[in-house]
Amino acid sequence: MLQESSQAGQVVVRRIDDLEFQVVIVRVHSDAADVLYLDDGKVEPGVPADEIDWQSSDGRRLSTDHPFFQAALEKVEEMEAMTAATTSGMRWEQGRFQEEDGAVVLASCVSVLTPQAVKDWDSDAAAQACGAGLRGVRSLRKKMEAEVPAVATA
């Protein structure tokens, strides 16, 4: 729980792995705070209260009217708006996910196979020949070596 004396604009120390960083409190939540780093101007939302040394303040404050503080507050609000927009109205239809705008995401082929096909599924064989990565290249090489007839030397 954060102290009652903690306020926006207060300059405190944030401790990360025995390193200390001077930060300004941008906003205070029940058990965390949004902070602005004084050394590089970056903003970090949701810093746990136990990582903040509230006694290090010594009454130092940054005015909440300061442009530096206002920019940090806008950045925190922008970050919150970005995370809130990630919810999706996707629904499951006929073995695939369909988005509200019509986009379709196909599910794993295993989910649409018959129960017998799933029971007989050979995952090792499927894993050997998938993708364009190293497994795919190795699989193609093995396949080519098996298909190419040996040349007789005279």
Q: Are residues 17 and 66 in the same domain?
A: yes
User: Does residue 51 form part of some domain?
Assistant: yes
Where in the sequence is the domain holding 74, given as residue range(s)?
11-84
**Contact indicator for 22, 38 with CB cutoff of 8 Å:** yes
How confident is the model over 7-43, as pLDDT tens digits?
Answer: 888 889 998 888 889 999 999 888 899 998 988 888 9
**For residue 67, how many other CB atoms are within 10 A of its CB?**
8
Q: Are residues 37 and 64 in the same domain?
A: yes
Is the pTM higher than 0.85? The answer reads: no
Count the helices and strands in the chain (H runs, E runs). 4, 8
* Beta strands 11-16 and 19-28, pairing class: antiparallel
Q: Are residues 110 and 80 in the same domain?
A: no
Domain-embedded: residue 5: no
Tens digit of each residue's pLDDT (9 = 90 or more) over 51-104: 888 787 777 888 888 888 888 888 888 888 776 555 667 777 777 777 877 777
Does residue 70 sit in the same domain as residue 114?
no
Quote the number of domains for the chain: 2
